[in-house]
Amino acid sequence: MSTADPASPAHGVWADVVGQDAAVRQFRRAASPEGSLAQAWLITGPPGSGRSTAARAFAATLQCETGTGCGHCHPCRTVLANTHPDVTVVATDKVSIAKEEVRGLVMTAQRAPATGRHRVLIVEDADRMSAGTFNVLLKSIEEPPPSTVWMLCAPSAEDLAPTIKSRCRLVSLSVPPSDVVAELLRRRDGIDGNLAVRAARAAQGHIGLALRYATQEGALAAREDSARTLLDLRTTGDAVLAAQGLVDRATAEAKAHADAVATEEKEHFLRSAGIDDGKVPPSLRSQVRQLEEDAKRRQTRLVRDVLDRYLLDAHSVLRDVLSRQLGTDSELVNVEVAAEIDQAASGGTGKATLELLEAIQVARQRISGNVPPLLAIEALLARIAVS
């Protein structure tokens, strides 16, 4: 059993919610007998800041036998393992969360807890709900049963409909420092110290991405190669070729993941339907087609996510260039390509680099707004090449 101080924000189920001490204190105070527990919460923070981890820890604390989120009792362990009967988590890797899925949540929200003190519903990526889907959710957020607690996670409060966010208690998370993320990788995942530091620095506080860099072979090297390619762009032709290669790799990565998930889902569906010869009867073919459509939407979303990850890396490279141009003492994110960064800095101006940083943000907005990814990436890289 842990001997950690139960008053410490890092105790028990909160141990992996790193760099968020103020938010953890707010959650724990609300869960205490002396606190005021809102029935709808909006947990915001940049990607990788730990929104869903914080929501699960809060849910475990609400169900905990001791009320502290001890991490040892049966309710704590089952919440963290996603097996507690009174805690429902909705996460999506598709473009949006469907109305039908939210209607199911609303029905679940009306049921009394089966074993715990609360019925908790966690919606990860709540920003992926449409205006119509928000309307489905609104009444349940406004008038939940006494034992129901909603937790919505999103990058910012502005990503949700005003009618929803005005009815939630807001908790804002920040990007955790790289050294805190590195320590988490060492403690939780057993990552070597030097590798943990490199991965955390490259991920810029994104915990999930840091773990990927630390555990996926070649991920850090590929990131460094992309940085060198970006800094070596000289012509529009270079930009077009680089953009095509990037989109091709993103599409292949997304398709591989989407296909694997689709195969698993189809096999599960066939087993559940008692089909062992692969022959789907006419009455079930519409459900199989729906699984195929879900796979396409999942791939579309994953392509955007992979490209956005690249754009964030490109932003960090140009920010390092700007840091050199301005003569600041801040540590480089991309230490491994410091020589190339110095060369790029000496060949341009701070004003031009600032304009390129703004262009990256525009490209991110265009891709999220359904502009064809290849066009958005080509336009950006061409601008970087001729700058």
Q: What is the pLDDT of residues 47-100, one digit of tens each?
A: 889 999 999 999 999 999 998 999 999 999 999 999 999 999 988 766 678 888
What is the per-residue pLDDT across 344-375, written as a single tens digit (0 to 9) for each? 999 999 999 999 999 999 999 999 888 999 99
Q: Distance between CA 230 and CA 366 in Å, rounded?
A: 20
Confidence band of 3 (pLDDT split at 50, 70, 90): very low
The dihedral through the CA atoms of 366, 370, 372, 377 has a sign that is positive
| DSSP summary character for residue 118 | -
Determine the average pLDDT of the residues in 243-253. Answer: 91
Strands (E), the chain: 40-44, 87-90, 119-123, 148-154, 169-172
Other Cβ atoms closer than 10 A to 351: 9
Strands (E), 68-181: 87-90, 119-123, 148-154, 169-172
Residue 6 has pLDDT above 60, yes or no: no
57-94 exposure pattern, b = at least 16 Cβ within 10 A, e = fewer: bbbbbbbbeeebbbbebebbebbbeeebebbbbbebbb
Percent of the chain with pLDDT over 90: 65
Q: Residue 93 has what pLDDT?
A: 65
The residue with greater pLDDT, 224 or 4, is 224
Q: Under a CB-based contact definition with an 8 Å cutoff, are residues 29 and 14 in contact?
A: no
Confidence band of 295 (pLDDT split at 50, 70, 90): confident
Q: How far apart are the first and last CA of the chain?
A: 59
Q: What amino acid is encoded at 203 in this protein?
A: A
Q: Distance between CA 14 and CA 100 in Å, rounded?
A: 32
Q: Distance between CA 229 and CA 344 in Å, rounded?
A: 12
97-118 exposure pattern, b = at least 16 Cβ within 10 A, e = fewer: bbbebbeebbeebeeebeebeb
Determine the average pLDDT of the residues in 123-143. Answer: 87
| Average pLDDT value for the chain | 89
Q: Residue 10 has what pLDDT?
A: 58
Sheet holding 40-44, edge to edge: 87-90, 119-123, 148-154, 40-44, 169-172
Q: What amino acid is encoded at 178 in this protein?
A: S
Strand 40-44 relative to strand 169-172: parallel, antiparallel, unpaired?
Answer: parallel
Determine the average pLDDT of the residues in 146-171. Answer: 93
Determine the average pLDDT of the residues in 190-204. Answer: 95
Task: Please give the model's pTM, rounded to 2 decimal places.
Answer: 0.80
Q: What amino acid is encoded at 127 in this protein?
A: D
Q: Which long-range contacts (CB under 8 A, 24 or more apart) does 350-354 make?
A: 350/322, 350/325, 350/326, 352/387, 353/318, 353/321, 353/322, 353/325, 354/322
Q: Burial, 381: exposed, middle or buried (Cβ in 10 Å; 0-12, 13-18, 19+)?
A: buried
Residue 284 has pLDDT above 80, yes or no: no
Determine the average pLDDT of the residues in 127-154. Answer: 89
Q: Please report, for residues 3, 60, 87, 258, the alpha-carbon distance to residue 72 in angstroms, rounded to integers and kept in the order given.
A: 12, 11, 17, 36
